[in-house]
Amino acid sequence: MSTFIGVDAGGSKTAVLLAKDAQVIARASGPPGAVRPGRALVASSRIAAVVRRALTEAHLLEADVLVVGAAGVGREPERTELREGLRGERLAARILVTGDLDIALEAAFGTGQGIVLVSGTGSVAVARTPDGTLHRQGGYGWQLGDEGSGYAVARAALEAVGRAHDGRSESTGLTQAFLASGPAKSFEELVRWSSAAEPGEVATLAPLVFGVASKGDVVAQAIIQTAAEALTRLVAPLVSLFAGKGQIPLALAGGNLSPDRGLRAPVLTRLRRTHRLTIREVPLDPAEGALALARRSA
């Protein structure tokens, strides 16, 4: 029997599935494996550690085929560097590296057409049109884009806490939530933490924002509505690429759009109101897309 590994290396975590032929026999998750410019070897080390955890669970030393779908490998230099780093780890006889959007599309539609909207640490929308061409909107990182992402939501919330502290805007339950359950126990500590935090660390505050919004906090709710509108705007140009009057398949990916997060409902409301979409209700697991690509490449 052949053994396959599929990896989703994102900005918040790395997820691994290991299968013997059609049966998944091991799973593992660990720290983020997204690639930052010039740091692909750091990502390969993190990814390898999680893959080895799955291999150990399956009592294997290596697999036949490993496919890694990673955020941050849209350019060939990063893709090549990550691939070479993983080869040095001796995880599989054959190693393929592709983008996180490729495995998301595979998980959602196989080789078929459709749109995937992603909101995790970052954000992006990608479409495969009937002729097989890929089109994308956004996904340019925390400085140039990532609107509607976990980072954007948390960053807006931190700004709101700062304004409330000065009395420049209304008070918000975000302050108490961040200091009770966040990375700091005082406003001064929060200032120091936020000044040095990486985008992925900032994005970990997004679930707290959703929680405060669910309790009726108007400041947090406004942040969620702004994020939902931004994500809807990513999808609109892609819808126009699909000719005809039929329904367009759409899937949501990323932790912020999972069924238990407060961003999913307002995004779906906007999309259904303005576009002819058939929404995939089953949560998307991009690691399954990576695993499918591994099987196909055997």
In our burial notation (b when 16+ CB lie closer than 10 A, e otherwise), range 146-173 reads bbbbbbbbbbbbbebbbebeeeeeeebb
The 10s digit of each residue's pLDDT in 101-133 is 899 999 999 989 999 999 988 899 999 998 889
- In the β-sheet with 114-119, what is the strand arrangement from edge to edge? 134-138, 123-128, 114-119, 248-253, 277-279
Residue type for 224, please? Answer: I
Q: What is the pLDDT of residue 245?
A: 62
Distance CA 152, CA 159 (A): 11
DSSP state of 257: G
Report CA-CA distances (Å) from 291 to 61, 69, 281.
18, 10, 21
Give residue 138's Cα distance to chain centre.
13
- Average pLDDT on 143-152 reads 90
Q: DSSP of 127-166, one letter per residue? A: EE-TTS-EEEEE--HHHH--TTSHHHHHHHHHHHHHHHHH
Residue 254 is encoded by which pair of tokens? 């990323």
Nearest Cα to 127, choosing from 251, 229, 6, 227? 251
pTM: 0.84
Number of Cβ within 10 Å of residue 82's Cβ equals 25
In CATH terms, the superfamily for domain 3-105+286-297 is: ATPase, nucleotide binding domain (3.30.420.40)
Residue ranges covered by each domain of the chain: 3-105+286-297
Predicted confidence (pLDDT) at residue 14 exceeds the cutoff of 90 = yes
Q: Is 39 exposed, middle or buried (0-12, 13-18, 19+ CB in 10 A)?
A: middle
Distance CA 97, CA 86 (A): 9
Distance CA 155, CA 140 (A): 16
Predicted confidence (pLDDT) at residue 230 exceeds the cutoff of 80 = yes
CA quadruple 172, 177, 183, 188: dihedral positive or negative? Answer: positive
Q: What is the pLDDT of residue 150?
A: 93
Q: What is the pLDDT of residue 59?
A: 94
Q: What is the pLDDT of residue 259?
A: 85
Q: Using 50, 70 and 90 to split pLDDT, how confident is the model at 74?
A: confident
Contacts of range 78-84, beta carbons closer than 8 Å, 24 or more positions apart: 78/35, 78/37, 78/40, 81/35, 81/40, 81/41, 82/35, 82/40, 82/43, 82/44
Q: Is 276 exposed, middle or buried (0-12, 13-18, 19+ CB in 10 A)?
A: middle
DSSP state of 255: G
Report CA-CA distances (Å) from 149 to 91, 145, 189, 238.
32, 9, 24, 18
Distance CA 176, CA 125 (A): 33
The 10s digit of each residue's pLDDT in 45-73 is 999 999 999 999 999 999 999 999 998 88
The 10s digit of each residue's pLDDT in 238-264 is 988 887 767 889 999 888 998 888 899
Distance CA 45, CA 72 (A): 15
Q: What is the pLDDT of residue 221?
A: 96
